[in-house]
Amino acid sequence: MITAGIDMGSRSAKLVFVEELKVDGAPQLRWGIKGKHIMFPEDMDMDVAAEKLFTEALASAGIARDQVTKIVSTGAGGKHVKFSTGYVTEVSSGARGAVFMCPTAKTVIDVGAEEGRGVKANAEGKVVDFAGNEKCAAGAGAFAESMSRALQLSLKDFGEQSLKSDKTIPMNAQCTVFAESEVVSLIHANTPKQDIAKAVLDAVASRVCAMARRVGIEEDVILIGGMVHNVGFVQSLRTSLGVDKVVLPDMPEYVSALGAALIAQDE
Amino acid sequence: MARYPSETLKLWKKAKQLREQYYIDYARAKDKGGIRWSGSAWALDAIPEGLGTDVYLLTGEPYAASVAHDPKFNKQCLDAAEAAGFARDLCAYMRSYWGGIYINKYLWGGEFPKPDFNFQTQICCSHSKWYQHASRLEKVPEFYIDVGVGPYKDLDESRLMYVVNQGLESIEWLEKVTGRKFDDELFIKAVKNEMRSTSLWAEICTLNKAVPAPLDEKTIFSLYCLATLNKAKKWCADFYEELRDEVADRVKRGIAAVPNERCRVLSDTQPPWAFLKIFRYLEEYGAVSVGSLYTFGLEGIWETKPDGTWGPRTTPMAKGIEMNTREQAMRLYADWNLSKPQFQHFYDPRLKTEMMKTMVREWSVNGVMLHLNRGCEGLSMGIMQNRLGLAAAGIPVMTYEGNMGDDREFDLVRTQNRVDSFMETLNLKREFAHA
């Protein structure tokens, strides 16, 4: 059985196909990733974007539409995927996907564009408790993106630059607008960009860490979401969490889509 | 997907009418030479009742909650308070109430009815300031009774007498500012009314332990509010007696408030009044909010029964205790009010956590939804400690951010997403969607 998980995030849409693996013709409780696809919709029409994503993903994976028995959507725009057979929140899909990627994970930290959250999951990838940022972008990828713009650095350079700094500059991470004005002040004070970048990422990590602490940090900790690609953030988070290791999965931005596809298999 | 029979509450209309009449009576009190006074829902209502049978009260919080339910009018009020220089992070009810004075408009039409005096208790960090500023604006006298004497479990003679003596002093003050003679008999009657109202309300809430719940919290909001209006009036106590009988009958016949009930949650603090639809949203999952410490214990007076369960506090009248003098009544009245569950968390969040754990156990609750209410510093105090305490006890708990009286601070879609996630953790799938 092939299922699809579609994660309609606020910056990008991701799709993962999962196929049940069989040994000697008998179904096993294991699945393989059959294909994945990502696109960055330019318009806000979630329905059109989802259809386009699905069509492109089918073509690239060489799967016929009628081979896909269930489609579960997730993410900020997940409810708008009209052709999906089910919907789960990104909290559930993230946890399911993360525990699939790292079966020993108990704490899932998910930092996407719009929201950061800490999730406590059980061995089956079910959510036990969760906490997320409330009505502000601080503690989410959009915050880091906004700050990198203020520093006129690409997101990649922003993370890499921060690794060159050994300074600790406290920064307000409660509000993106206030934080940006702090960044401007630091620029005017001739603070090196690498130090500002580290200050920003330390602040984001501190916010995310506080959310994770609300549910309790238990190892293994796995980090998912687009911010995994930001090396500076990962370093700041490791320090802030005070744990031996933070598991960084392959294809971190696909984990929620993967989780949705697995939940479709579970059903 | 109905699992239980359901029917409309017969007393629903009467509750609405009583509430409406209360606000009209207050506005028209001067037509018949009556007295108008204002204070919070925690003011000691029974004391001014000794001034006569034509005394009308406007409690600030339920008034502001009604204003919040009308976002257009609420915005006018909040804008006026902000224009006067008050910050948005102050108590939303207080800002809305002050705004009504600034624009001189009453939600029920006409000018904002000025009270003859403000009479207030002090336990919440905003309450005294609220009426202090209102008194300045309205140029009316003010009196405050400090009830912050520590948790009821630690109440001793000196703490009790501290409140009793202020109550007795307030009577002299009331006589002075109104020029009326205080009638002890009316006061004692009012104390008895209040004890009946608040014990009966707790009894009604106790009936909600039944599965299915005879009342859902969206309905409870419209019922508990009568006690917040004027619990010392006979009409309030009489209504609760009728309501108790109707709810008991619903329990007996297995009538559910939410016919597809399969999950029970507990909420916390005032809800975002302009978005009560979140409680209807829960129903899509078969979840019913059976109450909260807020709706149960803001006015309801409780006690631990001999079998260890939580139930309505037995009134002194039921115990055969005499109440013949002003002093005697004031002592019993102060003791009664100091046992209010919602007072306790001001002293230690652990007291609130323990009460919530009791409620979870006795009301068969599956999960708790905590409202991080930016509009109320008092009732939100310690709420994250409550979260930790509940989670440590293995109780599923979610938080959502909002404001009871300022709809600019509430994100409906995000809150619904939170509810979706929470319901998933409780293994629930949506059963239907409201139109």
pLDDT range class, residue A170, cuts 50, 70, 90: confident
- Per-residue pLDDT reduced to its tens digit, B273-296: 999 999 999 999 999 999 999 999
CB contact under 8 A, A89 and B421: yes
Contact B421, B429 (CB under 8 A): no
What is the 8-class DSSP label of residue A165? Answer: -
Q: Which residue of B has its CA nearest to A75?
A: B417
A-chain residues near B409 (CB < 8 A): 135
Say what the pLDDT of residue B255 is: 98
Q: Is B132 on the interface with A (CB under 8 A)?
A: no
Say what the pLDDT of residue B210 is: 98
Q: Is A128 on the interface with B (CB under 8 A)?
A: yes
Cα separation, B93 vs A9, whole angstroms: 37
CB contact under 8 A, A89 and B417: yes
Residue A28 above 60 pLDDT? no
Average pLDDT of the residues in B62-90: 95
All structural domains of chain B, each given as residue ranges with its CATH number in brackets, are 12-183+259-300+340-425 (3.40.50.11900)
Q: So where are chain A's domains?
A: 2-102+252-266, 131-247
Which residues touch B238 (CB under 8 Å, ≥6 apart)? none
Residue A27 above 60 pLDDT? no
Q: Is A131 on the interface with B (CB under 8 A)?
A: yes
Instruction: Please choose, from the candidates A117, A119, A147, the residue with its C-alpha nearest in 3D space to the C-alpha of residue A134.
Output: A117
User: Which fold is adopted by the domain A131-247?
Assistant: Nucleotidyltransferase; domain 5 (3.30.420)
Residue A174 above 70 pLDDT? no
pTM to 2 decimal places: 0.89
Say what the pLDDT of residue B337 is: 98
Instruction: Please choose, from the candidates B65, B64, B63, B99, the residue with its C-alpha nearest in 3D space to the C-alpha of residue B81.
Output: B99
Q: In Å, how far from its chain's centre is CA B290?
A: 15
Q: Please, is B177 exposed, middle or buried when counting C-beta atoms within 10 Å of its C-beta (0-12, 13-18, 19+)? A: middle
Say what the pLDDT of residue B153 is: 96
Residue A140 above 80 pLDDT? no
B-chain residues near A88 (CB < 8 A): 424
pLDDT range class, residue A204, cuts 50, 70, 90: confident
Average pLDDT of the residues in B255-279: 96
Mean pLDDT for all residues in chain A: 87
Say what the pLDDT of residue A141 is: 79
Q: Is A130 on the interface with B (CB under 8 A)?
A: yes
Say what the pLDDT of residue A54 is: 92
Contact map slice: A 157-216 vs B, CB within 8 A: 214-216
Cα separation, B370 vs B384, whole angstroms: 9
Q: Do domains A2-102+252-266 and A131-247 have the same CATH topology?
A: yes
Number of Cβ pairs < 8 A linking chain A and chain B: 38
Under CATH, which number does the domain A2-102+252-266 receive? 3.30.420.40
Residue A231 above 90 pLDDT? yes
Residue A236 or residue A140, greater confidence: A236
Say what the pLDDT of residue A44 is: 60
Say what the pLDDT of residue B14 is: 97
Q: Of how many residues is chain A composed?
A: 267
- In this complex, the residue of A88, A131, A135 whose CB is nearest that of residue B424 is A88
Query: Helix crossing, B60-68 with B217-230: angle to 10°?
Result: 140
**What is this model's ipTM?**
0.80
CB contact under 8 A, B421 and A91: yes
Average pLDDT of the residues in B262-282: 96
Q: Which residue of A has its CA nearest to B428?
A: A88
Portion of chain B with pLDDT greater than 90, in percent? 95
- In this complex, the residue of B399, B414, B424 whose CB is nearest that of residue A127 is B424
Residue A99 above 90 pLDDT? yes
Residue B411 above 80 pLDDT? yes
Residue B91 above 80 pLDDT? yes
Average pLDDT of the residues in A186-200: 91
